[in-house]
Amino acid sequence: MSLVMSTLLVSAVLCGTASGAVAEDAGGQTAAVPAARVSGERDCPVVYFDLGETLLHTADDGSTDYLRGAASYLRALRERHIKVGLITNVPSSWGTTDTERAARLKEEVDATWRGRVPFAWADFGDRILTPRAETERKPAPVLWQRAKAESGRCRVVYEAETAEEVAVASSLGFVSYQAGRPHRPAFLPVGLVELLGRRSR
């Protein structure tokens, strides 16, 4: 259902013919998102991503770089002051805290990076969520539950290339979007993300 709703939302934004869009809330119900509504909440929404093959690509030789369009998409979110985060599987042995595991993740990616533009680690701040134990690895729901709890009343978005992860995120109340599918925008349009942020949960 969430995938269908995401497609409808994308159509509403791209066509620009509606005064509002339709979004799925945490309970699976639909509600209007008024386009003219003004929000004073600058911390909302929060867009979480998977990392590998959603934002970056690992080539056959082991080198990494942005997927096409990912750098400009992150830049567009940054320019609109939309917070972003990562929900990504790494070995739990990489550290005892998210901060330690995120530091190791940065080292691993940066060591193989071949892109002309460095990966925008600073955009994610402390919102890099990783498994504290192997049982927390996606598709287990723990990381999404943590992300939602840490986002307060903000709408939370999850973008990933795998249908399974998108489905789990949707079931937990995220506005989820399967990135990189043919004949659709590579990522959830930024204008739509802004509309979602104008609606409190």
pLDDT digits 0-9 by tens, 47-60: 999 999 999 999 99
Q: What percentage of the chain carries pLDDT values higher than 70?
A: 77
Chain segment 160-196, per-residue pLDDT in tens:
999 999 999 999 999 999 999 999 999 999 999 999 8
CATH fourth-level superfamily of 2-197:
HAD superfamily/HAD-like (3.40.50.1000)
Q: What is the pLDDT of residue 51?
A: 98
**185 against 38, higher pLDDT:** 185
Chain segment 143-157, per-residue pLDDT in tens:
999 999 999 999 999
How is the chain split into domains, by residue range? 2-197
DSSP assignment of the chain: -HHHHHHHHHHHHHH---SEEEEE-TTS-EEEEETT-----TT--EEEE--BTTTEEE-TTS-EEEPTTHHHHHHHHHHTT-EEEEE----GGG-SSHHHHHHHHHHHHHHHB--SS---GGGGTT-EE--SSGGGSTTSSHHHHHHHHHTTTS-EEEEES-HHHHHHHHHTT-EEEETT-TTS-SS--HHHHHHHHTS--
Average pLDDT over the chain, rounded to an integer: 83
Q: What is the pLDDT of residue 161?
A: 97
